[in-house]
Amino acid sequence: MSSTYQNLIGSHRDLSRLPYVIFWIGTLSLLPVAVLFGEMLPLLMALAVILAAIAYRRPQEAAAVGVLYLFACNILLPHSARFDGVTEPWEMYYWAIGLLIVTAGGVAGVGLRRVLAVPLSARVFLLAALAAALYGLTHGASLSYASRQLYGILLLIVYLGIALHSGDEELLLRRIRTFGSILAFCFLVYYIAVFHQYGFHKEVGFNGTEACLLAIVIFIPGVLRKKLSWILSAVALLLIPVLFFMRGAVLTFLMTLPIAVAMKVKSTKFKVLCWAVSVLIALPALYPPIAQMAIDQISRVPGMEKFLPPGIQDSDTLLERAIQLGAALATVQAHPWLGAGLGSDIEFESPTQGSRQVAFVDSGWAYLLQKMGVVGAAAFLWFLITVLRGISKDSVGLSACLVSAVVVTLFSQPVFFHFTSSPFMGSFAGLLLAAQHRRNMSSPSEHPIKAGAGFFSRLQQRFSRALSAGRAARA
């Protein structure tokens, strides 16, 4: 390749970045004006249209664009229910509309047929969700709730397909490092602005979980590559769940650290030790008595009472997740195949609010069983097996993130099913499956679209070999 041609390519690359530089300079310039005059909603809608155009023209950007737009909505236009959990969160409707616009641009850029060319297990899970939605609608669920809950699962599959066929892990990490840092700074400005009124306080929302997931996927590669800017960006993102006292999100982050070490080291004993440490870190996020013991120990630290907001000194929220799971199991006993359907209400006794009947379920496993029953749970477990087979030390950040999300986050939030987080999970899973496909190009059975079928075909082959060996022994 001639040096002239290389210079032309370099110039073209520099010029291709110019629209993005101008766009972000313009956005950041308008941000203070939008905050001052309360016009954040029009700014975010305009942002959605522009990002949709970027995702259409550059499909490799689509996964990062969708994830970061959703995070921006949570930071720049937080929902009204964040202080009481009761006020109508009208902002979420606009989050969903903006995300739909952005996603449509990505789907148009990648191609609908390619987006839907996902592993068999993912398609089966989507079909189970469609069946659960129809079942819920025919058994009294509202169209609004059923469609919203189906929307979250549909986004999971769509972003899986986008990342699988057009995603770029390195590009995603760079975008998170840059724009995640900007949004973390915006959060700190907000927190300082309300601190005189609320002090150290707890808010109900999704931004802590989203920030935690983004922090994980850049912190671990940052450490491995010795990139200080990535590490600092991850720390800035982690401040969001820390300042909101989101126990589950912080423990999810901490759990990934020994998991990442276990995936990289060669010593079997050290691997076992790392996995044991990760289990110990996860326990306070899963088992209410241990969580209460940890909270009691922290509360005894001198001066800590000045920083801990009301309600943080007990594990009632974790206990409520366990109660929801029990209520969902009771629903499965009454309606085993598809549960009560998407959009259905769950009834349980909250330790803090008494008897409740709500359509949203906090616990991800309770959400799955309540709304999709045994069929949905089986399809989702098959999907998880397909995805987790793609974990690798070559993508240790994404791998550790998905493992910890399944073990810890899913117990407290429907992170794979709700539209506020399902694009994150779909994008991360798609990138892992794409990397797995690249590692196994020589083996057709390992293509990510056939990964689920390949798993069961290998079981069948092993069973056949065992039968053949048995016949040979008898002969």
Each residue of 143-177: pLDDT tens digit? Answer: 999 999 999 999 999 999 999 999 999 999 999 99
How many C-beta atoms lie closer than 10 Å to residue 420's C-beta?
25
- The reply to whether 466 and 414 lie within a common domain is no
Q: What pLDDT, on a 0 to 100 scale, did the predictor assign at position 39?
A: 72
pLDDT band at 456 (very low <50, low <70, confident <90, very high): very low
Query: Which comes out higher in pLDDT, residue 474 or 4?
Result: 474
- The reply to whether 78 and 192 lie within a common domain is yes
What's the structural domain count of the chain? 2
- The reply to whether 122 and 211 lie within a common domain is yes
Average pLDDT over residues 367-383: 97
Q: Per DSSP, what are the bridge partners of residue 358?
A: 346
- Residue-wise pLDDT for 114-140, tens only, equals 999 999 999 999 999 999 999 999 999
Average pLDDT over residues 62-68: 95
Which stretch of 211-225, 269-283, 284-298 has the lowest confidence by average pLDDT?
Answer: 284-298
Reply yes or no on whether the pLDDT at 396 is more than 90: yes
pLDDT band at 5 (very low <50, low <70, confident <90, very high): very low
Average pLDDT over residues 186-197: 90
- The reply to whether 450 and 406 lie within a common domain is no
Q: What is the DSSP letter of 343?
A: T
Q: What pLDDT, on a 0 to 100 scale, did the predictor assign at position 474?
A: 55
- The reply to whether 98 and 224 lie within a common domain is yes
Distance of CA 374 to the CA centre of its chain: 23
Q: What pLDDT, on a 0 to 100 scale, did the predictor assign at position 183?
A: 92
- The reply to whether 392 and 468 lie within a common domain is no
Q: What pLDDT, on a 0 to 100 scale, did the predictor assign at position 459?
A: 46
Average pLDDT over residues 59-63: 94
- The reply to whether 470 and 367 lie within a common domain is no
Q: Considering the domain boundaries, does residue 146 fall inside one?
A: yes
Average pLDDT over residues 310-333: 80
Q: What pLDDT, on a 0 to 100 scale, did the predictor assign at position 309?
A: 66
- The reply to whether 422 and 462 lie within a common domain is no
Asked whether 297 and 316 are in contact (CB, 8 A), the reply is: no
- The reply to whether 465 and 332 lie within a common domain is no
Domain extent at residue 288: 14-439
Q: Considering the domain boundaries, does residue 64 fall inside one?
A: yes
Q: What pLDDT, on a 0 to 100 scale, did the predictor assign at position 348?
A: 85
Reply yes or no on whether the pLDDT at 2 is more than 50: no
| CA dihedral over 183, 412, 448, 120, signed as positive or negative | negative
**Percent of the chain with pLDDT strictly greater than 90:** 57
Which stretch of 85-89, 237-241, 295-299, 456-460 has the lowest confidence by average pLDDT?
Answer: 456-460
- Residue-wise pLDDT for 330-368, tens only, equals 999 999 999 999 999 888 888 777 888 888 888 999 999
**Percent of the chain with pLDDT strictly greater than 70:** 79
Distance of CA 348 to the CA centre of its chain: 26
pLDDT band at 308 (very low <50, low <70, confident <90, very high): low
Reply yes or no on whether the pLDDT at 56 is more than 70: yes
Q: What pLDDT, on a 0 to 100 scale, did the predictor assign at position 362?
A: 87
Which residue shows structure tokens 């203070």?
32
Q: What pLDDT, on a 0 to 100 scale, did the predictor assign at position 472?
A: 58
pTM for this model (two decimals): 0.86
Q: What pLDDT, on a 0 to 100 scale, did the predictor assign at position 46?
A: 87
What are the tokens at 315?
């594990």
Q: What pLDDT, on a 0 to 100 scale, did the predictor assign at position 62?
A: 95
Q: Considering the domain boundaries, does residue 6 fall inside one?
A: no
pLDDT band at 312 (very low <50, low <70, confident <90, very high): low
Q: What is the DSSP letter of 117?
A: -
How many C-beta atoms lie closer than 10 Å to residue 60's C-beta?
18
* Cβ partners under 8 Å of residue 419, min gap 6: 95, 96, 99, 148, 151, 152, 155
Asked whether 175 and 63 are in contact (CB, 8 A), the reply is: no
- Residue-wise pLDDT for 25-37, tens only, equals 555 556 655 655 5
pLDDT band at 6 (very low <50, low <70, confident <90, very high): very low
Asked whether 101 and 52 are in contact (CB, 8 A), the reply is: yes
- The reply to whether 207 and 238 lie within a common domain is yes
Total residues belonging to the chain = 475
d(CA 13, CA 27): 22
CA distance readout (Å), 360 to 85, 346, 413? 12, 8, 10
- The reply to whether 357 and 464 lie within a common domain is no
Most confident residue range from 10-19, 288-297, 335-344: 335-344
Q: Considering the domain boundaries, does residue 346 fall inside one?
A: yes
